[in-house]
Structure 1
């Protein structure tokens, strides 16, 4: 680790420690964003992660059990190192993560997107990330939403630190202003007393003058040590006082500022006309409209940029001449923080208006503060005017006349209304409530809610989420009737038959699922394909299901393993369409295990050498043609190696064909072990072997490969209890623009040269076209 990186990491960890947030309990202010991220991006896992020195710790998480993992395997560590959004569409195909325990094991990470979250000083502290257990690409809209939510998390993370700094600065400024005002008043009284003494006691002039000099120095010390900028101005707008804090704020030294026109020096050009008019009025009347007020105004610095300053100004007279004394404090950071908070609130309001779940909130007194679009639709209410709190005709949400328990005509007692219960401190989960609104069909809803509390546990109000499940409840009744009609027929058909709704949940499954896969058809109902059949099964059929739900029939064939037994299942997905709308999918699956096994055996017999288990001549011809096609597409070179066992006939004649077969098997195994997985070794006949070598860039590289093969063959063979020396002759043809015939002929000519040279060697010939 370089010294620069070490310093950066140390600063980052120091910023993280300063927040004092590690290993703290879960907080709703972060949890709401991880839930929003998971829901908006439709992923099973979302987390707000803080990256410590040796671990990544989850401050908030959805869909994860673990609260921390080692940093060495953390995706988020890569994200903060990159300093930008990290997107991994398929971790299994990414060299950085393909062997990561989080990918190979639980939770089975496939797709990942993480946006860094920074401290006030710009150090990356962690990420807001989303994770899917299946490969996927995140479009620009999804990544923009992730960045927006991460910005909200970042503001929430740094809010307390900014608020503490602002409060401390404001308290210091107030204390300083009070102190300065007291000192100015004290000085005024002293000056008045001294003037009286001068008139009454001329003899004490020297003593009075000494006292005045002392007081002046004391005021100078106060002004010079003041944390707020102090600017003194005469009635001609000339600067008479300019303390060190003013030098720091505006960039001009005291020597440069004294005597300068204050409007030209620090008032922005667009405001100078109004400033000059006010100063002219002050010259005539002695009245300054801004005096004795606390104002926020833009001020100009030496660099030409503007700062928002909080200013208090007073006027006084000395020897008949009017002066203004102004104290100024830079509040740009506070204003920016306030603007950021307002932007966050606007974004949160927009998200709540966009979701299809009704959301209602109230303050600690029970007054409605939020009634989103989905809630208004459920209650048949128009939008509230901008800036006006939402309300209902009776001033309450869910008045007793509007609610009742499902199946009952009695109104729900007011103290049992979910929002009231949440306001009392209860956590309400999926409470069934029937909403009755005039001139509307009653709606069945599931309501969940919880109290809202502040950082110190103070009660702020309550919030509830309302899910309208009316249509779902009605459709379930129809599905039950349909299943009863289908089951008698379907249970007796020698195939898997199922019906899947648009939400990818099983609504029907016949008894063959129990016979073939050991699954209880009744337990499958209401579960998603992934839940009932497993993520692997769903991943292989996801594209077919999506196409079917879009209206196109699909056929998928794959292996399904259950209880140690494997079946090849061929599934047809047929869309159920009514009036142009896809209502679901019919699934018909047949067992193709026996047919595919027969095909596999036939293919193996036709393409495998029975002695060595290597590909035979037919398989070699196919692989060579495929390699040539790839080389043409990629513009790459190709090599073909021909190999013979030296003096193989002598081995057969002296030791017998059994020993010869053993030599050929060992010879083939050594060749296969010596080449890359992308290279194809085959036995053509007798002791003739070939190797297709892809991505070999030069003819000289072929010679290196040939020597490696010779080194693999030369160690003695142990055949039928005997140590047998075996060598090989190798010829390699190489071409930059390979053609099958020319490549084979070049390899044969090179092999012939090797044998003429005494065998146990390698020769390389470059094709004329290459």
Structure 2
């Protein structure tokens, strides 16, 4: 079959011909999806590649079947058409503005020009008026899996001709063969991209885990199913006094105080049996130097995808100082009670002496009879409640402390009148609402019969304040001041329990910032930290006062919104979040722009699910939002009425990107 040159100056393998129209000629308009089409074409690694038999085989069949001198697999680039396979031409590309195939991009099935001289679109084309003097053209669009036209399979002749319906169908069938090859390569590219994304996520996850494991101020360990340490962090070595090499040759049973081991092993067995997912307890470790320390231990069991146990993850916090303080406080109370009881017993015959002693003790002391009327009060009642102790004698406890407080205390009063020594913690008296008390009720016996009881109430306001402060520090993220992962776990469990009891629906929004890594890498971690604090403040300002905004780690945040029962309400919240994070952030050396991908999981009242499952669903939905274009949101389980809102949000996000 003869080879046709495109003009007298064309040479084999020239990158482009330089043909000039001799008649008025208008190039084909650009398709509406031109940018997407070119992006996909360039990503498939087809342009400027060697000949491949899979494509050449098709052009040979086209030339033979249609009896044409030229058959091409043409890919239409931004300014050229490049021939992946060519038969009958000695050049590998031509300018796009004289290309017939550029017109074929707009064809639904087949662009057929039986006589170019009779077609106003092509009569003045340089390839018609000059070499190779195209008189006949038939081109079938080659589409991607998403319907984008990348090029054509075309047949060209230098004389006019007609093409029967059967040969048109055959040409379309051969084009489908080429199209299938292109789609397969597209799928392979997407698979490679997904695998690369998964690898990046895995590397990031491993990096985050390593940082959290090694640098957090709590002891952490990975422990095998027999109790042997697999990996330990520096803080656990500091707590136990052992080196990492020493610990990984030992089991947790070896460093646990023997008296605490049975409870620990029982909880481990419940984990392995599936009766619980985590457990916490206070236990004692034996340090390398022989000393005993207290730790607050939290343990979780990690299972594989089939549900089989793999290993334990444990977190230990040294609470030795707290335990010593608690023991000193208990010893003090017991000694105080012993002294008061001893002195009270000795001085029952001397009311004046009793009053003098009790008035100088820093506790509320009272004597109550079986009818719950005061028989004695010390002077501390005057200091706390502003009432003369003498005025309380004969008055009922209910009248003195108020009906609400009395109802809370009544069960304890009944127990002490039944002969039981009772401790009542965390009492708040109506007359002193800013203080918290710990009361001990001691029965008074006469002839083996309880005739009343003694009340000793100690002010533990400062102790409770310190405990709450310690708890707040454990439950807050140090960088942003938001509740942390531990706080989220507690609150989410409460939300799920409430929803399961048909009490209150809620929605969980899992957020991951888009573009944060670039800012962090470009400007440094100090700027990244400042940016995270701004994001936290903006999220709190955007959400309702009763909503819970938490920071998990890195640039991941979670919002719990109670009382949300419709996808439209969730969509509005997600749109508000996307818009809020999409506004510029002020940095010390300029500004930064971020987006956020949001995954939404809804939990309706009465719906039975777990906190872990709900969080995982929202996490997966967030990654789906990233795959769909970022700075948008997706539902974990797509409600029908959520689609329009999502589309609107994505459209708004697109407009925002165009303007910036």
TM-score, length of structure 1 as denominator length:
0.33
TM-score, length of structure 2 as denominator length:
0.37
Higher CA-based Rg: 1
Larger relative contact order, structure 1 or 2 (CA cutoff 8 Å, min sep 6): 2
